[in-house]
Amino acid sequence: MYVHPIEYRYFYPEMKSLFTEEYRLQKWLEVEAALAQAHAEVGDIPREAAEEITRKASVKYVKLERVKEIEDQIHHDLMAMVKAFTEVCEGYAGAYIHLGATSYDIEDTATALQLKDAIKIIMEDLINLKNVVVDLADKYKSVICVGRTHGQHALPITYGLKFAIWAYEIHRHIIRLMQLTPRVLVGKMTGAVGTMAGFGEKGFQIQELVMKKLGLKPAETSNQIVQRDRIAELILFTSLVAASLNKIGKELRNLQRTEIGEVWEEFKETQVGSSTMPHKRNPHKSERICGLSRILIGNVFPALENVALEHERDLTNSAPERIIIPENLILLDYMLKQLTQILKGLKLDEQNITRNLGLTRGFIMAEKIMLELVNKGLGRQQAHELLRKCAMQSWSQRVEFKQALLNEPTIAKIVSSTELDEWLNPAAYIGTSVQQVEKAVAELRGYKYEF
């Protein structure tokens, strides 16, 4: 029986599989095997013992059920693994398992292995999402729409520029992930309080060998644990990406409002929008992304609290991490893949886009006309006040902005009707929008990420 929705609803199998109990047990076994191999290389234990340990370092031999059975008796999950592992090793090999190590040498190093696999998936997700957004920017670089500030019609913009802004934001997240990965993917083999005393004078050598075998960096220094600023940074990163996804999802939701209706999520032929209102076409996928972002952002608090443990360590980080690490990574993977699918199927309603450009009867072009009046010899402040009055007249009397302008003697004296028609065209005032998009597409489409 499932309890948490990441087990049955909000997940993709590849990421979810990284956080199963069996997968975690497998990573523990791999770390124990690497430790045994290191001991053999430095002459601490017989090579045959290390080979047997390595051979049996698999959930094929060390069964999760047996580990949990032992844990029920001794109330220590890592030591339960050590005992179950010892049982399946032939001869004297089991006597050398976990030699000189403390629990979190194994647990933290195994966590880094899990995170290594998870980060690879998140990186692929981000790159796929960025590529889709770049394609949208390119496709719609010249589609002019109304820009909105404070929820009000402001000036013309292009959909391409909207998408290009998102593409650069996702690109920055990819760069952030590349930068933080070396700080997160570290393991340790330093013993109970970080002194390496259990490994004697070979401590540095053993730690280097273990991490090299596992493809991790060794922590520069540690106490009983890898310091939690590293985990906190990863959780902060996932929450920052979630905030961006929330931003994109919120924009998509607002643009799908009935009275705006400029973009639409894909809606299948048999899809149901409401249990009682047959006509509904709800943006539920975008809403889901916005809602899930709150979980990731909320998990920042326990991640930061976990940084301040007592003395050489306490156990208060353990329970929260069992929750926040799987939650944030499984949900982020789900959100990224879902948003990618939403954007792949996104439809623009260009008829509504054009309609909305004209809703204000032209006064979204007030800034353009103000600048043209300055070119005609009016002072900037004088032109601003004249345009403000004309816009208010157009608004209150529901007349075309052009007519309000022609009703103003100062303006009518120096501007012709033909000039106003030219200046009131939204296409005449999108600035460098198209060029900005072309620059973004050129930079981002071919960008080579090294990780």
Catalogue the active-site residues: 150, 274
Q: What is the largest CA-CA distance in the chain?
A: 104
Question: Using a CB cutoff of 8 Å and minimum separation of 24, what contacts does 72-76 make?
Answer: 76/103
Q: How far apart are CA 214 and CA 444, in angstroms?
A: 33
Q: What share of the chain is helix, strand, coil (3-state, %, to 5)?
A: 65, 5, 30
**Cα 84 to Cα 51, 369, 412, 446, distances in angstroms:** 17, 80, 91, 50
| Token pair in block for residue 251 | 């924009």
H-helix or E-strand spanning residue 348: strand 347-348
Determine the distance from the C-alpha atom of residue 59 to the mean position of all C-alpha atoms in its chain, rounded to a whole number: 32
Contact criterion met (CB below 8 Å) for 50 and 210:
no
Are 440 and 164 contacting, i.e. CB atoms less than 8 angstroms apart?
A: yes
101 burial via Cβ count (<10 Å: 0-12, 13-18, 19+):
buried
Q: What is the rounded distance in angstroms from the CA atom of residue 450 to the CA atom of residue 358?
A: 46
What is the dihedral angle through the alpha carbons of 291, 293, 294, 295, rounded to the nearest 10 degrees?
A: 110
How far is residue 291's CA from residue 249's CA, in Å, rounded to a whole number?
A: 10
**The residue count for the chain:** 451
- Strands 217-218 and 186-187 turn out to be parallel
> In this structure, what token pair is assigned to residue 344?
């792949």
Calpha distance 391→393 (Å, rounded): 5
Closest alpha carbon to 440 in 128, 155, 165 = 165
Report which residue type is found at 143. Answer: V
Query: Which string of DSSP letters, residue by residue, matches 405-451?
Result: HHTSHHHHHH--HHHHHHHT-GGGG-TTHHHHHHHHHHHHHT-----
The DSSP bridge partners found for residue 146 are 156
